[in-house]
Chain A
Amino acid sequence: MNRSLPLVILAMAILAFATVMLVVAPKVQIGREPAAAGLKPYTTEQLRGRALYSSLGCVYCHSQQPRAPDQAPDAERGWGRASIAADYAYDSPHLMGTMRTGPDLLNVGARLPSASWQLTHLYQPRAVSAWSIMPAYPFLFEVKDRASPGDRVVWLPEDRRIPGKVVVAKPEARDLVAYLLSLDRTYPVPRSAIRDDGYSRGGATQ
């Protein structure tokens, strides 16, 4: 370590540069972006579900950031249009995720709006798709002899049923589903929105 000072200066410069480009500049660009007109704040129930979404680690396999058509066929997959900064106004911290082991979920509430489907799928994903690799979440459910009034009974295909028992959703499951169904960014994009214009020339029709 003959020349420690230049090294430290260089390291600090790199760090400062990265901070400016990755933290300060984006903040200047999108920090003041207001919530999109069609976006509603989360309800208490949805927020509880959101906390559950974080704690169960959903974000490790599911992203919440559909890409522009030039970058990925997300719109054709039914995952919705490319997201804009205003879509995340009420998400703090955001749960954009980086992995796509499972499908993107930013518009799952529009794509799969059936609460009863969501419950079945959370209880046992293989009841819907035999090839699914998503973990089941049976601990969000209760197996009872019969449903009491007010219980949300989960429908299962015949081969998944437990004879003489019913599967009932616990409040946690209902919170999580409420959060999933709130994921719906299908409202139109404001003209002025900061957004991703894609990068490939292949997307142009002309």
Chain B
Amino acid sequence: MNDRKQQPATDEGARDQIHGRVARTSIYALTGGVLLFVFAVLVRDEFHFRGQESAPPEASGPLSFTPPPMSKIPDGPAGTSIRHGMAIFENTGTEAKPFVGNQLACRSCHLDAGRKADSAPMWAAWVSYPQYRAKNKKMNTMEDRLNGCFSYSMNAQGSPSGGPPPKGDPIYADLEAYFHWLASNAPTGAKLKGAGFLKLKLPQSGYDRDRGRAVYAQHCASCHGDDGQGRTDINGRQVFPPLWGPRSYNWGAGMAQLNNAAGFIKANMPLGAGNTLTDQQAWDAAAWIDSQERPKDPRQKGTVAENVVAFHSGEKTFYGKTVDGHLLGSGTEVPVQASRR
């Protein structure tokens, strides 16, 4: 600095001072910039790697629940019962053959072996029974509820025995053992997130069967077939369940009500791409599926019209309506048992 001061030209000195200040400011600015950059890179790396390592956490409410993994099924007699219950749940047509009158299994609607939220998961069902149900106007035990599943969703009227498993059948005990295990550590009686089917509000423009036909053709038909009969693999085993017709659930099933079907579709369909359809599309697709004939309601005593009054009043369903000149609810021909070819 001393050398500089000996320079005669004060003008230059002033300029130098300005230069010095500019240089200093730029160095400070550069330092700050580099520090910021380094910090940002470190932070980004940290988050980037984190994001790749852990699963994206699903939005979860206060009472979300995760069932135990299959590998945690205990050994011993209890485990045998749980495993058999799971086998019935997944392979209903074989394990409970005398009581199944269609090509569905429990897991056709209760996805992921009854584990998936918003597809009426069994861990949520287990903690909410016994329960009063308007459907049969009484307090229902889990066994009563399962009896209903067999009667309606599994169309037991078309089964070899012609009805659901009798009271006290070990099928109930094993299924309940499986549900109980799925609900390990779940709070009893609590409303769990993901229980039942999604409650989907009816959009302003309602539901429409013809719009539904287009939605079905675009989003559903590649798996369930244009004719709604599902698809089988090379061994004739049902991979995608039939949605209507003699091999599907009957008119008494919960899925035959539009609100249930729409909620199920919205949350779960197409499988693996749930919640990609709009509410409107879900309702319309449900309308198309529900406005097809299926096995008759086993509770029907007189005519369809009488049965509408007795059991279907207030339901959102095509039951008892006439579509294309056909009275829905008349039922399909008695299904041919287990004949896939």
Q: Once the chains are docked, how many angstroms separate the CA of A201 from the CA of B47?
A: 12
- Whether a CB of chain B sits under 8 angstroms from the CB of A56 is no
Q: Once the chains are docked, how many angstroms separate the CA of A200 from the CA of B48?
A: 11
Q: Tell me which residues from 170 to 206 in chain A have a Cβ below 8 Å from any Cβ of chain B.
A: 200-202, 204
Q: Which residues of A contact B53 (CB under 8 A)?
A: 201-202, 204
Question: Secondary structure of the B side of the interface?
Answer: helix
Q: Tell me which residues from 46 to 71 in chain B have a Cβ below 8 Å from any Cβ of chain A.
A: 48-49, 52-53
Q: Which residues of B contact A201 (CB under 8 A)?
A: 49, 52-53
Q: Tell me which residues from 12 to 56 in chain B have a Cβ below 8 Å from any Cβ of chain A.
A: 48-49, 52-53
Closest to A201 in B: B49
Q: Tell me which residues from 24 to 49 in chain A have a Cβ below 8 Å from any Cβ of chain B.
A: none
Q: Which residues of B contact A202 (CB under 8 A)?
A: 48-49, 52-53
Chain B's nearest CB lies how many Å from the CB of A200?
7
Q: Which residues of B contact A204 (CB under 8 A)?
A: 53
* Per-residue contact bits, chain B 86-100, to A (CB 8 Å; 1 contact, 0 not): 000000000000000
Q: Once the chains are docked, how many angstroms separate the CA of A202 from the CA of B51?
A: 8
Chain B's nearest CB lies how many Å from the CB of A133?
31
Q: Which residues of A contact B52 (CB under 8 A)?
A: 201-202
Q: Once the chains are docked, how many angstroms separate the CA of A200 from the CA of B52?
A: 11
Q: Once the chains are docked, how many angstroms separate the CA of A204 from the CA of B53?
A: 7
Q: Once the chains are docked, how many angstroms separate the CA of A202 from the CA of B49?
A: 5
Q: Once the chains are docked, how many angstroms separate the CA of A200 from the CA of B50?
A: 11
Q: Once the chains are docked, how many angstroms separate the CA of A11 from the CA of B49?
A: 40
Chain B's nearest CB lies how many Å from the CB of A68?
15
Q: Once the chains are docked, how many angstroms separate the CA of A175 from the CA of B53?
A: 47
Chain B's nearest CB lies how many Å from the CB of A206?
8
Chain A's nearest CB lies how many Å from the CB of B48?
7
Q: Once the chains are docked, how many angstroms separate the CA of A200 from the CA of B53?
A: 11
Q: Which residues of A contact B48 (CB under 8 A)?
A: 202
Chain A's nearest CB lies how many Å from the CB of B41?
14
Q: Once the chains are docked, how many angstroms separate the CA of A201 from the CA of B49?
A: 6
* Per-residue contact bits, chain B 128-148, to A (CB 8 Å; 1 contact, 0 not): 000000000000000000000
Q: B residues near A, CB below 8 A?
A: 48-49, 52-53
Q: Which 5 A-B pairs have the closest CB atoms?
A: A202-B52, A201-B49, A202-B49, A201-B53, A202-B53
Q: A residues near B, CB below 8 A?
A: 200-202, 204
Query: Mind listing 9 A-B residue pairs with CB under 8 Å?
Result: A200-B49, A201-B49, A201-B52, A201-B53, A202-B48, A202-B49, A202-B52, A202-B53, A204-B53
Extra pairs beyond A201-B49, A204-B53 (7, CB < 8 Å)? A200-B49, A201-B52, A201-B53, A202-B48, A202-B49, A202-B52, A202-B53
